[in-house]
Amino acid sequence: MSYKITGSGCCIPNVVQKNKAFLGHSFLDNQGTKFDADNKTIIDKFNSITGIEERKYIPLELKTSDIAHLAAQKAIEDANVDPESLDYIIVAHNFGDISGDSKQIDTLPSLASRVKAKLKIRNPECVAYDILFGCPGWVEAIIQAHAFIKAGMANKCLVVGADTLSRVVDIYDRDSMIYADGAGATILEKSLEEGGILSHSTLTFTANNETDFIFYGKSYNSEDLSGNKFIKMQGRKVYEFALNHVPAAMKQCLDQANVNINDLKKIFIHQANKKMDEGIVKRFFRLFKKSMPEDILPMNIEEFGNSSVATVPSLFDLVIKNNYKGHSLNKGDVILFASVGAGMNINAITYQI
């Protein structure tokens, strides 16, 4: 018996925001002081570190639950399952539904309930709930779905990761250029085929003020008296934390699966920052006294930006269906899903196609 992803889907927003769109912004530091460097210099440096050249935003008339529903529909069709047969719908997100004309977070009812309603599922035994776990939310939701199925509490689960970070950015913050919107979905179910989830690992760090690394805070513009809050990040601390802790967590997960590092085909890591992700994976291979293979790391952050919980499932869907940027997967391939984010949380899954 195995636990396999039998279908996937993603919703790619159609509003493209290129880096040059930020040339007219008034960027301030966390003390509200304007930077000495001009915006072109700031943007060029940002691009050299993150790799981001453009990002995707949803149009004003859509919300997170809308794109979660669209991704879910594609995953259900791809898996060829009856929506009424789903036992759980788990939606990972961080900011709920925020309309285009409001900064107020809306999580009542849950996004999972809204997705279930949009799918027109009538079965009351299909349980719908949300998970808040920072950027690693989709990976953790897959781990939860796996636990339900393994315990005999479910046969099929719909797991969605969706966020619209464009609705919670402070336009005075340089980090606003990082964030994007998107949704990715998968069906996880019991299977008689070999492979599927081989191992998983999750860690939460809070003992050394890690809860302050990514948070919801006020604008850097001291004249903004609206009371609105925005996604905030201590970028240097997040970067150092990820490089110091994520590689070991990934190794622990792979070791638990008893998989040889030479048999690892691809790593689907949260698309947070190109330089950081490459650093994490290089350190991961160094733990095995190996060099990072050139074709191990699919990346879409250059054109998609950081859409939080949506990055891993969306990238997986693009690769498995479209051979995205030359990356492909075949039956029997072993891959690693991994993520790091607010909490601070780290998780990983060893998975065989």
| Tens digits of residue pLDDT in 210-265 | 999 999 999 999 888 888 899 999 999 999 999 999 999 999 999 999 999 999 99
Q: Residue 104 has what pLDDT?
A: 84
Bridge partners of 45, per DSSP, are none
- Per-residue tokens: 105: 């977070």
- Per-residue tokens: 122: 């009538």
52 pLDDT more than 80: yes
User: What domains appear along the chain, each with residue ranges and CATH number?
Assistant: 2-194 (3.40.47.10), 198-352 (3.40.47.10)
| Tens digits of residue pLDDT in 259-318 | 999 999 999 999 999 999 999 999 999 999 999 999 999 999 999 999 999 999 999 999
Whether 159 and 186 have beta carbons less than 8 Å apart is answered as yes
Q: What are phi and psi of 163, to 5 degrees?
A: -150, 150
Long-range contacts of 102-105 (CB under 8 A, 24+ apart): 103/167, 103/168, 103/226, 103/228, 103/229
| Tens digits of residue pLDDT in 334-353 | 999 999 999 999 999 999 99
Q: Model-level pTM greater than 0.75?
A: yes
Q: Residue 1 has what pLDDT?
A: 83
Q: Torsion-angle region of residue 255: left (phi > 0), alpha (psi -120 to 50) or beta? A: alpha
- Distance between start and end Cα atoms, the chain: 14
